[in-house]
Amino acid sequence: MGEKYEGDREYNKLKKFVTSNSKPPCVLATLEHCSKKEKAFIEESTSWDEAKVKEELESVKSQIEAAKTKHQELADLFEKQKDEAMATMKKSEEAKTDLEKVTKDVKYKINIMEQVTKKKDEL
């Protein structure tokens, strides 16, 4: 089964993903379709006994699981913070509307009182 694509939706990035993931899998018995990296790992692991292979397999799977868990936790945190930020933004917009209303309602009073104060200061 192939990898799930979680990257950008731009054509070139999609094409690169498809190209790099659409090749036939490495065949251990014949080394057919194996990359240099896969061949190097095969060389390294040929001396391992079955217990070592199982241990390494579990280690690699647990690394992937830990990374998935961390990613999910951060994605969940982001969603929570995004929701809070959106609520705060809405409150901010409401406060701005209130400010504009108050400013409009009392601006003439400020203008008159400033003129009165200025007139008294001039005397």
Question: Residue 2 has what pLDDT?
Answer: 59
4 domain residue, yes or no? yes
CA distances for 67 relative to 7, 38, 79, angstroms: 16, 22, 18
User: What's the domain range around 36?
Assistant: 1-49
- pTM: predicted TM-score of the whole model, two decimal places: 0.55
In a domain, 56, yes or no: no
What is the number of domains present in the chain? 1
> Is residue 106 domain-resident?
no
Q: Is residue 87 part of a domain?
A: no
Within-domain flag for 37: yes
Q: How many CB atoms lie within 10 A of CB 41?
A: 13
Average pLDDT in the 88-94 region? Answer: 96
pLDDT in tens, 47-86: 999 999 999 999 999 999 999 999 999 999 999 999 999 9
Q: Is 83 a member of any domain?
A: no
CA distance 93 to 86: 10
Residue 84 is assigned to a structural domain of this protein = no
Give mean pLDDT, residues 23-45.
91
3-state helix, strand, coil in the chain (%, to 5): 75, 0, 20
Q: Per-residue confidence at 13, pLDDT binned at 50, 70, 90?
A: confident
Whether 19 is in a domain gets the answer yes
